[in-house]
Amino acid sequence: MIRVNENYLKIQASYLFTEIAHRVKAHQDAHPDAKIIRLGIGDVTEPLAPAVVAAMHKAVDDEAARETFHGYGPEQGYAFLRDAIAENDFQKREIDVASDEIFVSDGAKCDCGNIQELFGQDVKIAVPDPVYPVYVDTNVMAGRTGVNTDGRYSGLIYLDGNAANGFVPAPGNLEADVVYLCFPNNPTGATATKAQLQAWVDWARANKALILFDAAYEAFIRTPGIPHSIYECAGARECAIEFRSFSKTAGFTGVRCGYTVVPKGLVAWKADGSSAELRPFWTRRQTTKFNGCSYITQRGAEAVYSPEGAAQTKATIDFYLGNAKIVKDALLALGYDVTGGMDSPYLWVNVKGDSWEFFDRLLKEANVVTTPGAGFGRAGEGYIRISAFNSRENVEEAVGRIAKVLGG
């Protein structure tokens, strides 16, 4: 008799986005002429950089001729991309990461989700709250938790992000083996200082624990001094894996490319107390279950590091950051506490009340869609997330409408 993995039954249905879609549709049906502006989504809106498009066109032509055709590529990624990543994302910043520590993939979501396969079944997992749900759900699927009550799974440790800690939880006396951290953060837009990240690295080393550092929004960092990588912290190579993505960096949400850094010498522990290097484990995992990101995509990703590609992708991110500033300035002027919106495409707004009520108010009175914070975890109640991914025209229009509703 075929049995299901009953851990899947524990997963809370994605109430958040279904419910948002339902409410938006009901509103649109009732007001067919309403021009609804969506500031809820985490997807990019601007097209690929011309340099990336040109590189991908050329790569298609490569595939069209016997002499330049590529079939299966290396599972860890082509050397041309791994070298470009190591040089530009790390070595130029004097961060010690080599190309053979980089594993190219089809996105950070898969890597964040798959990495837990490397760990023992009984490891204690800590996640921030509010949180990007992938970290939680993949551990639920793997059977590392009990059931969900009141929005939290038993067996998981939740690290509350709140106004008091600036949405950057500290390790304190945490007893965990693995912690997921994400900065700049989705959903709060918060960034961590080097001292805050160093405290996590020191904690991990002292506790033989591992940090899974999600830097999917690294390209939005503009403030000097904010770390771009966990490996800027002393000792991080001994206790951290880092995830990066071209999705928000270069508009690859539909193209699909990301990478994971697993440093040489990074170990986890066996039952007998001896250690095992994680890099060969991840190599084995990827070579067994993944057949590489497409040649065409990787040539596109490589072009992000060309002088034109870098300038063009930076300009797009500056544009989104400009959107974020417009929204942030307007909300601050209206008297709201706002986190993020600098060094991040997300704004996390304290709505001083119920997040769904506030969502409904903006939907019904301003025709603007946001995301209720409660959907990202219990600690997200009382907040909404606003995204800067939209056209300037829509953002200005949305801000004008929001100001009218909230200011009046």
Q: Which positions lie near ligand PLP, rule CB under 6 A? A: 42, 107-109, 112, 132, 182, 186, 214, 216, 245, 247, 253, 258
Sequential DSSP letters for 189-208: -----HHHHHHHHHHHHHTT
CA 395 to chain centre: 22
Phi and psi, residue 41, nearest 5°: -75, 155
Closer residue to ligand PLP (CB): 28 or 253: 253
The nearest distance, CB 357 to ligand PLP, in angstroms, is 25
Buried b (16+ CB within 10 A) or exposed e, 308-331: ebbebbbebbeebbebbebbbebb
Closer residue to ligand PLP (CB): 43 or 337: 43
Nearest residue to 283 (alpha-carbon basis) of 101, 129, 149: 101
The nearest distance, CB 258 to ligand PLP, in angstroms, is 4
The nearest distance, CB 116 to ligand PLP, in angstroms, is 14
Q: C-alpha angle with apex 387: 111 to 332, nearest 5 degrees?
A: 135
Tell me which residue has tokens 């850094």: 261
Closer residue to ligand PLP (CB): 128 or 263: 128
Closer residue to ligand PLP (CB): 190 or 406: 190
The nearest distance, CB 75 to ligand PLP, in angstroms, is 17
Closer residue to ligand PLP (CB): 75 or 214: 214
Q: Is 92 exposed, middle or buried (0-12, 13-18, 19+ CB in 10 A)?
A: exposed
Closer residue to ligand PLP (CB): 201 or 216: 216
The nearest distance, CB 159 to ligand PLP, in angstroms, is 15
The nearest distance, CB 131 to ligand PLP, in angstroms, is 9
- Under DSSP, the state recorded for 27 is H
The nearest distance, CB 332 to ligand PLP, in angstroms, is 24
Output the residue with the shortest Cβ distance to ligand PLP: 107
Closer residue to ligand PLP (CB): 84 or 110: 110
Sequential DSSP letters for 167-192: T----TT---SEEEEESS-TTT----
Rounded CA separation 402/137 (Å): 34
